[in-house]
Chain A
Amino acid sequence: MKQREPHLLLQSAPLLRQGLTTPAAMRDVWLALLPATLAALWFFGLSALLVLLASIAGCVLTEWVFTPKESRTDTLKDNSAALTGLLLGLTLPPGLPMWMAFVGGMVAIGIGKVIWGGLGSNLFNPALLGRAFLLGTFPIAMTTWGAASGPGDFLQVHASNLALPFMQAPPTDAISAATPLGLMKFEQQGTAFTNLFIGNTAGSIGETSGLMLLLGGLFLWLRGGIDWRIPVAILGSAALFSLILFLVDGDKYPSPLFTVFSGGMLLGALFMATDPVTSPLTPKGSWIFGIGIGFLVVLIRVFGGFPEGVMYAILLMNAATPLIDRYSQPRVFGRGLK
């Protein structure tokens, strides 16, 4: 009896797959950002949530509008647009008007991603590009920081959050506080390390809690989602550079510990600079990239006009990434031997 012969496929090997998918990798980043996001809600209340939602909505809607109909659901399902929104939101002040956060999201995806050719093709980190746009366009709103509040004020929403489009925030609302970096830059005033570590300071929504960011970064590293060389290189070189300055004049320059735990340093080093699309592919390139960022951050913070320099440092090194990649190819097995 002749057995039934199935119609055989001729797919070329390998047939086996690791089982990891790009959307799942994006989901890992979401999970890794969860602790910092929860800390943000704890410290900044419902305001933080509103800003995050507005920025995510800006990103997702823009992605939806600008992608061709056929691939629309696919590109949204890969989780990357919403992730950009979350990352952008975490870099914004909690009192920012929601419409500004929304516009920031639109710019992040529209100018930061879609015009380059979509996922995987952009040169600059989209979230940071969106933030750079906001900082340039709304400098006052982007540098008005509310002090961290307790859980008791959770439901208190800054009136500025609800400002109508193209209106500035009502000035009366400002329970404004200076960030640790601002205090350091303009008043040579330090901040207690425990506050920096826990996150109980003024600052952008997701950047204040060093502890939660480190937890998330550790998780992401364990899941293989980030190249450990980049954060290590950034934090190491920034700490080293600021240690040298600190030793030269301890009163004028911040300590390495302050450098690492203040401002957007950890958020940037762990979650922004490690964006695989905009960072080098090669191990050697990752070191160069990270060291460049760490050096630039301290340079901008100490000698520049802004108190913070993480965003510009990363964007600058993003621009250098293709060049770094080209000249940092690993030695091929069996080549370049004596």
Chain B
Amino acid sequence: MGFLFSLRHSFEHGVHPAHHKEQTYDLPIQRVPFVDHYVMPLGQHIGAPAKPVVKTGQRVQRGELIAEAGAFVSTALHSPVTGTVTAIEPRRYIDGSFKPAIAIKADPYATQQLPPRPPLDWEAMSMEQFIGAVQQAGIVGMGGAAFPSHVKYAIPEGQQINELLINGAECEPYLTNDHRLMMERPEAVLRGSEIVRRKLGAKRATIGVEKNKPEAIEALKRHITDDMAIEVVALEVKYPQGAEKMLIKAVYDLEVPAGELPRDVGVAVNNVGTIVAIADYFDSGMPLIERIVTVSGPGIAEAANLIVPIGTPIREVLRFCGGLKETTREVIMGGPMMGSPVADLEAPILKGCSGILAFTAQETGRPKEYPCIRCGRCLEACPYFLNPSRLARLGKARLYEQMRDEYNLLDCVECGACTFACPSHIPIVQHIRAAKDDLRQHKGNG
């Protein structure tokens, strides 16, 4: 019945997890107080790690540059707090490993106000200056991927962006950070959209929001004025609607060819959080030093939507929310479908961290795995029309090359819809990840 959905603003296939958004849906965004110390990992975005420009013992202002982009596909880091650099050394990362980071101790006497700065005249900037400014502001994709945003704006010669697509789908269960942002700061979303749209020379900006966020859709629509070329599209509720290529399919009924980028079909996609970060930077000069994080899940005492300075230890955020319940078995950074497990609560909140979710034995318990009965539910779940059943079978047999060469393994975006849908509880996407890892490593050795 997929053809019905394509007429009703969605992509084909996909799954319908329970939303679980009610826990934080109506909770206004509040600010987490400043804490004692912060950790800024140098490689918290996709691409080359940032290069520190501060020394141990140096005093830094909130919003001050502390590391510059290490390459074009890289971005800058700024101090989330006024204080002193205490160390530049490997620190705990969310996966439990140690990664190079700048540790900053907050100054309890500082006001923590941003140094005032007049708005930047983005209209007068050349495209190069604009791209440089976005990179300088440390802005990355805030939906979770943390891909440096300015790279998306560097359009090769001969290509033209016709459409700017703002991703407000928020298809991951539990998360409400984008919802609250659109609801509470619709002007900022619209303003950021106009900045990016006009700099890219796109004809129109479209904000795609799933229908389960009517207040957000309403708020955005109310604030659109006649001089804006912005449209809000209500999308069917389906996972993974927020996956870039699925959103493009849902909104424009366009299919981005495998191995190509949205810009190859004339579309640029930005998350609403990213768009607001851009608006904030050009309006107030605030680089990306804080973000909205949904803290939720059955293991959280008091769920909340929070503005958290980047670099705040996860433990401090949880403490603000009343700590973890005794029943918590796992903490996830991001959403429950695609997020990453947190190995150490000392690890800091990253730029790409949309949520901190705590789960109990009920969600983390490993259900008994049955043999594949070829029911085909994974095929109907896969938004890429892959054959997850076959991929899992080949994965178990470690026939990784066959998975890649005959069953389009590398097209998989690991959305996990197959694992979600499987009645036999086969860890399908986990087999796929293992296959990809293995192939990557062989490539590295060869």
Is there an interface contact between B373 and A25, defined as CB atoms closer than 8 Å? yes
Is there an interface contact between B373 and A10, defined as CB atoms closer than 8 Å? no
| Residue of A15, A21, A224, A227 touching B330 (CB-CB under 8 A) | A15
B290 nearest CB across to chain A (Å) = 24
Which bracket fits the contact residues of B? 35 or more
B338 contacts partner chain A, Cβ-Cβ < 8 Å: yes
B129 nearest CB across to chain A (Å) = 34
Is there an interface contact between A14 and B416, defined as CB atoms closer than 8 Å? yes
CA distance A334 to B371 in the complex (A): 31
B303 contacts partner chain A, Cβ-Cβ < 8 Å: no
Is there an interface contact between B330 and A281, defined as CB atoms closer than 8 Å? no
B90 contacts partner chain A, Cβ-Cβ < 8 Å: no
Q: Mark B368-383, 1 if CB is under 8 A from A, else 0.
A: 1011111111010001
Is there an interface contact between B387 and A119, defined as CB atoms closer than 8 Å? no
A331 contacts partner chain B, Cβ-Cβ < 8 Å: yes
| Residue of A25, A282, A329 touching B423 (CB-CB under 8 A) | A25
Looking at A1-9, A96-104, A132-140, the stretch in contact with chain B turns out to be A1-9
- A18 CB contacts on chain B under 8 angstroms: 15, 17, 377, 420-423
CA distance A91 to B337 in the complex (A): 44
- A69 CB contacts on chain B under 8 angstroms: none
Is there an interface contact between A332 and B408, defined as CB atoms closer than 8 Å? yes
CA distance A330 to B423 in the complex (A): 22
- B336 CB contacts on chain A under 8 angstroms: 13-16
- Chain A positions 57-77 with a Cβ under 8 Å from a chain B Cβ: 74
A12 contacts partner chain B, Cβ-Cβ < 8 Å: yes
B359 contacts partner chain A, Cβ-Cβ < 8 Å: yes
Closest B-chain residue to A337, C-beta based?
B257
- Chain A positions 320-336 with a Cβ under 8 Å from a chain B Cβ: 329-335
Q: Mark B381-406, 1 if CB is under 8 A from A, else 0.
A: 00111110110000000000000000
Is there an interface contact between A21 and B370, defined as CB atoms closer than 8 Å? yes
A189 contacts partner chain B, Cβ-Cβ < 8 Å: no
Closest B-chain residue to A6, C-beta based?
B328
Q: A9-B330, A12-B430 are in contact. Are A25 and B375 (CB under 8 A)?
A: yes
| Residue of A13, A118, A281, A334 touching B340 (CB-CB under 8 A) | A13
Is there an interface contact between B425 and A17, defined as CB atoms closer than 8 Å? yes
Closest B-chain residue to A2, C-beta based?
B315
A165 contacts partner chain B, Cβ-Cβ < 8 Å: no
Is there an interface contact between B389 and A6, defined as CB atoms closer than 8 Å? no
| Residue of A16, A330, A335, A337 touching B379 (CB-CB under 8 A) | A330
A20 contacts partner chain B, Cβ-Cβ < 8 Å: yes
- A12 CB contacts on chain B under 8 angstroms: 341, 430, 433
Closest B-chain residue to A22, C-beta based?
B370
| Residue of B328, B368, B374 touching A120 (CB-CB under 8 A) | B374
B307 contacts partner chain A, Cβ-Cβ < 8 Å: no
Is there an interface contact between B257 and A8, defined as CB atoms closer than 8 Å? no
B64 nearest CB across to chain A (Å) = 32
- B430 CB contacts on chain A under 8 angstroms: 12
| Residue of B258, B323, B359, B371 touching A15 (CB-CB under 8 A) | B359
Q: Mark A250-290, 1 if CB is under 8 A from B, else 0.
A: 00000000000000000000000000110101100000000
A27 nearest CB across to chain B (Å) = 11
CA distance A120 to B422 in the complex (A): 14
A194 contacts partner chain B, Cβ-Cβ < 8 Å: no
B53 nearest CB across to chain A (Å) = 34
| Residue of B245, B258, B359, B374 touching A276 (CB-CB under 8 A) | B374
CA distance A12 to B430 in the complex (A): 8
A24 contacts partner chain B, Cβ-Cβ < 8 Å: yes
Q: A3-B323, A333-B385 are in contact. Are A120 and B371 (CB under 8 A)?
A: yes
B363 nearest CB across to chain A (Å) = 5
A11 contacts partner chain B, Cβ-Cβ < 8 Å: yes
Is there an interface contact between A6 and B385, defined as CB atoms closer than 8 Å? no
Q: A12-B430, A333-B411, A334-B411 are in contact. Are A17 and B343 (CB under 8 A)?
A: no
- Chain A positions 1-49 with a Cβ under 8 Å from a chain B Cβ: 3-6, 8-18, 20-25
- A20 CB contacts on chain B under 8 angstroms: 377, 423
- A10 CB contacts on chain B under 8 angstroms: 96, 330, 341, 343
Q: Mark B148-166, 1 if CB is under 8 A from A, else 0.
A: 0000000000000000000
- A21 CB contacts on chain B under 8 angstroms: 367, 370, 423-425
A2 nearest CB across to chain B (Å) = 9
Is there an interface contact between A276 and B329, defined as CB atoms closer than 8 Å? no
A176 contacts partner chain B, Cβ-Cβ < 8 Å: no
| Residue of B383, B389, B420, B422 touching A16 (CB-CB under 8 A) | B420
| Residue of B18, B319, B370 touching A3 (CB-CB under 8 A) | B319
The 4 closest A-B pairs by CB, nearest first: A120-B371, A14-B416, A334-B258, A22-B370
New A-B contacts (18) at CB < 8 Å, excluding given A6-B324, A8-B342, A14-B337: A6-B329, A8-B343, A8-B345, A9-B364, A11-B341, A13-B340, A16-B17, A118-B371, A119-B371, A276-B373, A277-B374, A330-B385, A332-B411, A334-B255, A334-B258, A334-B260, A334-B411, A335-B411
**Selected A-B contacts with CB under 8 Å, 26 pairs:** A3-B323, A6-B326, A8-B329, A10-B343, A11-B366, A13-B334, A13-B336, A14-B416, A14-B417, A14-B419, A16-B363, A17-B425, A18-B420, A20-B377, A20-B423, A78-B370, A120-B370, A224-B377, A276-B376, A329-B387, A332-B258, A333-B384, A333-B385, A334-B255, A334-B260, A337-B255
Binding site for B on A (CB under 8 A): 3-6, 8-18, 20-25, 74, 78, 80, 118-121, 224, 227, 276-277, 279, 281-282, 329-335, 337
